[in-house]
Structure 1
Amino acid sequence: MGPPVPMNRAANETTIDIIGGYYQQDGTHGAVEGGRGTQQLTDVSPAIILNIPLDTVSRLSVNVGADFYSSASTDRIDFALSTPSARDVRTHGDFGYSREHKYQGIVWGVGAGVSKEYDYLSGNVTGSFAKTSRDGNRQLGLAGQVFFDQVTLITPAELRTAIIRGKNAYGTDTRQTYNLTATYSQVLSKRLQVAISTELVAQNGLLSTPFHRVYFRDNPDPNPAPPPNGDFSTRVATAARIETLPRSRFKYPVSLRLNYYATDVVQVRAFYRFYNDNFGITAHTAELELPVKVTPFFVLYPFYRYHIQTAARYFAPFQQHSVADEYYSSDYDLSAFSAHKTGLGLRYSPVYGLTRFRVPGQDAQGRPRVMRLRSLDLRYAHYQQSTDLVANIVSFDLGFAL
């Protein structure tokens, strides 16, 4: 939950956003097989976001949804296709309360949430504060969030020390994540707005993934595992070990955002982020979005995002680690790579909405309640990484008001 913003003039409206997306990726550096296997993944992610006014100064927010995903890479945990790890569902819910002190220009909020999937349970608590200047041109926002995670230690089939019967036999470990975000935004002119922010992150506990294999160039232990799908040409002669990473991590990103209204028709949105952490990763991300107002109610916004990063000191490709290493991973998320993301979005939001219809009940004046579909957003993006990972993302947002 980011810093809250002041209530708008439609503070008496309940808003409902039905959002969803389809994500599909493929690649050849899956961490489950030591950095050389499939990365095929699909994910469908519907959600509903409610913003409910309790009175003229306070609001309740609710965000509930699910991710239905299918992963060919995690299917290789047991070296057998169509195992339970191939498909999973993540359900999540976040709930928040915010209150505005209008004459002081202050909005504060609190919240909590939970997320659950087969091998993972997470809870979080949040708090936020924002102070806006009297002229509305400057705002300072602060937000904090703490996650408490419990992870089931599912290991690759050949590395299990006993016959596993049921999820509870694997054992568990924990992780805590602490986020602190500070954002300062200012209107510099009628056309230019700027915001600078930093998000300090500290993590403690299990930071490695227990079913990620790592293969070594000098491991003397033979591989006890049968080859996947009976293909002996893919067999690795020496045994794998479980990915091992330090149990603490600190991240230090700083970002700058500019919004420039070039004309009444074209807007320029620019974003830059510098990232550094104690794993040894340094990254730069730049994004440019150009919303074009085709009509007063119809906007097209092409966008481009570029990312480049160095490798973590604990990363090495397939069979490049030594057994003498204290920490090791072949997860290409920790590798050095560059990535390009391009796409196009559209937003249609007529002043009176796209359509309206009656819903059960009456308003405060005893009139029939009417809900309107106020906006429609569609977005497509293509993502390509220098490691040969390729992904396509389609998302939508149907905005309703009651």
Structure 2
Amino acid sequence: MEGKPEAAVAVIKMTTILKNILFFIGVFAFANAYSQTTPDSTKVYKKRVLETTEVDFLTSYYTQDGDNAAVSGGVGTEELTDVTGAFVVSIPLNDDDVLTIDAGVSAYTSASSSNIDPFDDGPADPFQASSGASSGDLWANMTGSYSHSSDDRNDIWSAKLSVSSEYDYFSIGVGGSYTKLFNEKNTEFSINGNVYLDTWNTIYPMELRPFGEGGDGLNNRLFAQNTITGNTNYNPLFIEFDEEGRNSYSLGLGFSQILHKNLQGSLAIDFVQQEGLLSTPFQRVYFADVADSFIDNFQLADAVERLPDSRFKIAVGGRLNWYLNEFFTMRTFYRYYSDDWGITSHTASVEVPVKITDKFTLYPSYRFYNQTAADYFRPYESVLSTDEYYTSDYDLSEYSANQFGFGASYTDIFTKTHIWKFGLKSVDLKFYKYDRDTTFSSKIITAGFKFLMD
């Protein structure tokens, strides 16, 4: 598939860059730590923001299934598995400044995306995976952030730069934030902003490519080697996208207040503006007013998803954390979301950490989600060829979902367990099961390990 070599090269380059960055960070941190050992009678003692280097290793295993794949126009398998691993290294540069490097890789296999080209290995069927190049891929990301705290720790500034790559897109992002604490640190206000500049490598369904610019249409080898059934006069409505970029701009405001010694509340509002190619080029659409064409059991696309080139989102949410006693805490969350594509949603969740001992805590949780459909969503074969915008992506449909979770954590503030020069501070394990009122369901297991450098 197009873009595969470029993705591999990008991953190798990012890995090399990360190694070099970590090497120079290590040298700098060592030199900085050494300089801190030199006595200076003019300095006033100040508690460091971060006492020592912290290393987090995060991993997850995710699996999903369903019968409404957007790649095949709202029907077909949504089966996917994903394994992710990431390292987060936080390094104190001095008393006030912290540098954090976050690098991760995600590897997935997808029966759904494999059907971008379902004709490469036997009878094509939307409910069967193809073994083509699009059946799996790697996603890689690296983010560097820097934060500075004022002497009284009431002002915190941060900036970040991120790069990510996959076979069909490349993204670079920049961002920054400012946090102000006052009222004896009982009140907190924050503002943050981010910009992401994405570039697509547009990949279209295999049967549509011969109808693109310079294509040979029904004279293509795909149609010469396979028999079209149903409507044999296959003539899709296909125009390649002119725009291959997508820009996202976000602004967030947050406010937190300690309401009581056992109660803390927070409010947040986020604005997001997206511009550019917001359609997914390889997601098929089938028209209700066009006769169906097939190769084997796979229906040939009438078109690809077409969505507006701009989208504005707003989300408002709040949290309320209540410390019940030394064993129980209740964490609640609610968020309202709306965008100019017609989607509104409500999210509500509750988590009740249960402290078993000084080191072990359990985390049962529940989350409810409900959304309306986008103005442009139509189920399989409900789109008209005269419509301006259309999609059969069930992520944009009306649905409700329930998620049940359970987690456990181990914390040792004295880091008695060691691996080489690192002391194990905490271990977190969580499991979540997610179900929509459609056929879609998913499960995820996550694990996190925090180490402190001696």
Task: Provide the TM-score with structure 1 as the length reference.
Answer: 0.89
| Contact kept? 1:152, 1:172, Cα under 8 Å | no
Q: How far does the alpha carbon of each residue in 1:253-304 deviate from its partner, in whole angstroms, 9 at most, with x for none?
A: 0000011001111000000000000000010000000000000111001000
2:432 to 371, 381, 395: 381
Q: Report the equivalent of 2:176.
A: 127
- Letter of the structure 2 residue corresponding to residue 191 of structure 1: N
Compute the displacement of 1:219 (Å). Answer: 2.1
| Contact kept? 2:430, 2:445, Cα under 8 Å | yes
Q: Report the equivalent of 2:231.
A: none
Q: How far does the alpha carbon of each residue in 1:39-59 deviate from its partner, in whole angstroms, 9 at most, with x for none?
A: 000000100001100000001
| Contact kept? 1:256, 1:271, Cα under 8 Å | yes
Given the superposition, is the C-alpha separation of residues 217 and 46 from structure 1 closer, same or farther in structure 2, using an over 3 Å criterion?
same
* 1:46 and 2:85 correspond: yes
Q: How far does the alpha carbon of each residue in 1:353-375 deviate from its partner, in whole angstroms, 9 at most, with x for none?
A: 2502443xxxxxxxxxxx20110
Given the superposition, is the C-alpha separation of residues 317 and 354 from structure 1 closer, same or farther in structure 2, using an over 3 Å criterion?
farther
Greater helix share, structure number? 2
- Letter of the structure 2 residue corresponding to residue 135 of structure 1: E
C-alpha distance in structure 1 between counterparts of 2:143 and 2:49, whole Å: 23
Compute the displacement of 1:341 (Å). Answer: 0.5
| Contact kept? 2:47, 2:95, Cα under 8 Å | no
C-alpha distance in structure 1 between counterparts of 2:380 and 2:402, whole Å: 25
Q: Report the equivalent of 1:393.
A: 444
| Contact kept? 2:53, 2:89, Cα under 8 Å | yes
Q: Report the equivalent of 1:14.
A: 53
C-alpha distance in structure 2 between counterparts of 1:284 and 1:98, whole Å: 33
SS at match of 2:71: helix
Matches within 5 A, 1:261-340: 261-340=323-402
| Contact kept? 2:193, 2:249, Cα under 8 Å | yes
SS at match of 2:115: helix
C-alpha distance in structure 2 between counterparts of 1:325 and 1:122, whole Å: 31
C-alpha distance in structure 2 between counterparts of 1:170 and 1:244, whole Å: 9
Q: Report the equivalent of 1:155.
A: 204
Q: How far does the alpha carbon of each residue in 1:59-94 deviate from its partner, in whole angstroms, 9 at most, with x for none?
A: 101100111000100111111311110010000000
SS at match of 1:295: coil
2:260 to 189, 203, 207: 189
| Contact kept? 1:30, 1:36, Cα under 8 Å | yes
Compute the displacement of 1:105 (Å). Answer: 1.0
Size of the aligned set, in residue pairs, is: 372
SS at match of 1:31: coil
| Contact kept? 1:151, 1:174, Cα under 8 Å | yes
Compute the displacement of 1:242 (Å). Answer: 0.7
Q: CA RMSD in A?
A: 1.9
Given the superposition, is the C-alpha separation of residues 126 and 136 from structure 1 closer, same or farther in structure 2, using an over 3 Å criterion?
same
| Contact kept? 1:153, 1:171, Cα under 8 Å | no
Q: Report the equivalent of 1:33.
A: 72
C-alpha distance in structure 2 between counterparts of 1:121 and 1:140, whole Å: 33
Structure 1: unaligned runs, 5 residues or longer: 1-6, 228-233, 360-370
Q: Report the equivalent of 1:246.
A: 308
C-alpha distance in structure 2 between counterparts of 1:83 and 1:172, whole Å: 27
Matches within 5 A, 1:92-111: 92-103=141-152, 105-111=154-160
Task: Provide the TM-score with structure 2 as the length reference.
Answer: 0.79
Given the superposition, is the C-alpha separation of residues 86 and 170 from structure 1 closer, same or farther in structure 2, using an over 3 Å criterion?
farther
Larger Rg: 2
Q: Report the equivalent of 2:7.
A: none
Greater strand share, structure number? 1
SS at match of 1:252: strand
* 1:136 and 2:185 correspond: yes
